[in-house]
Amino acid sequence: MVEKKTDNKPLNDHALDQLFREARTFNAWEDRSVPKTLIQALYDLMKFGATSANCSPARLLFLTSTEAKERLKPHLGEGNVKKTMSAPCVAVIGHDLQFHEHLPKLFPHTDAKAWFEGNPSLIAETAFRNGTLQGAYLMIASRALGLDCGPMSGFDQEAVSKEFFSDEPGDIRVNFLCNLGYGITEDMFERSPRFAFDDVCKVL
């Protein structure tokens, strides 16, 4: 007998507004901390987002102390310093190029580790794609829990990888940063235009 699928229903408009339609990239923040319990809760949501073969390559650091953010500061682009140093929490989103070593645990249905061994280009492609997906899941989970986000590039990726991940297990490369907290509208741009469906989509 085929088990019936969960009877999912659309989220209400308030939830959709909070996650997408009214969500913005924030550059300024309330002086209000993000507790560790909330950081753990957002990870416990984002970890369920799909990755290929459940490879889960994302490796995350959450910088909440002044000392940790000071280590990041020299590697930021000039335009990113003020908003990052004032953010209550800075998520450093990286991906592990040795993610396949964990596949016997994460995807025990088959020998998925063998798919990647000796194939560095496939490892790099898979780690980057799925680590980026997990970074997006982090943003959605953060918004779902009432936090605002300020994702950004504009930093020295190699230097940040070395500064924060050189002593961590694996071979971790930083992808992007995301400031987290409770945003205020100071220094916020007007919302930029988006493409209409017909501009970029086709149904075949």
pLDDT digits (tens, 9 = 90+) for 154-172: 999 999 999 999 988 889 9
* Alpha carbons 39 and 29: distance in angstroms, whole number: 17
Label the pairing between strands 28-29 and 183-184.
antiparallel
In this model, does residue 2 exceed pLDDT 80? Answer: no
pLDDT digits (tens, 9 = 90+) for 92-131: 999 999 999 999 999 999 999 999 999 999 999 999 999 9
Other Cβ atoms closer than 10 A to 13: 9
Domains contained in the chain, CATH given:
24-185 (3.40.109.10)
pLDDT digits (tens, 9 = 90+) for 17-45: 999 999 999 999 999 999 999 999 999 99
Q: Provide CB contacts within 8 A for 2, sequence distance 6+.
A: none
pTM above 0.75, yes or no: yes
